[in-house]
Amino acid sequence: MSGYREIEAAVSSVAILVGGTEERLVRVRISDLDSADLSTVAFIDLPSTEARRIALEILAAADDADWQTDQDGCPQEAR
């Protein structure tokens, strides 16, 4: 994969039994925005607790990247 990726998450049509109750999975799709090749797209169905943990780690990494950008004096993009 190249430097530009996109991550999407949505409720999956798949459900599993956890402790006797049905739990929907979260479908996570990761794609390489620089490639038109569909083989670069990855899907994974995760339990909601795992998807939440990964999302929090991604947010923490994004905060760190913002901080490093500010330290390097890089101009910020207009939002």
pLDDT in tens, 5-16: 777 888 888 888
Residue 37 lies in a domain: yes
What range defines the domain where residue 26 resides? 5-71
> Domains in the chain: how many in total?
1
Residue 77 lies in a domain: no
Residue 46 lies in a domain: yes
Residue 79 lies in a domain: no
Residue 61 lies in a domain: yes
For residue 27, pLDDT over 60 is answered with yes
Residue 78 lies in a domain: no
Residue 50 lies in a domain: yes
Average pLDDT, the chain: 80
At 76 the pLDDT is 57
Mean pLDDT, residues 25-41 taken together: 80
> Hey, what amino acid is at 75?
P
- What span, in angstroms and rounded, lies between the C-alpha atoms of 11 and 49? 13
Dig out the tokens for 30 from the structure.
């990761």
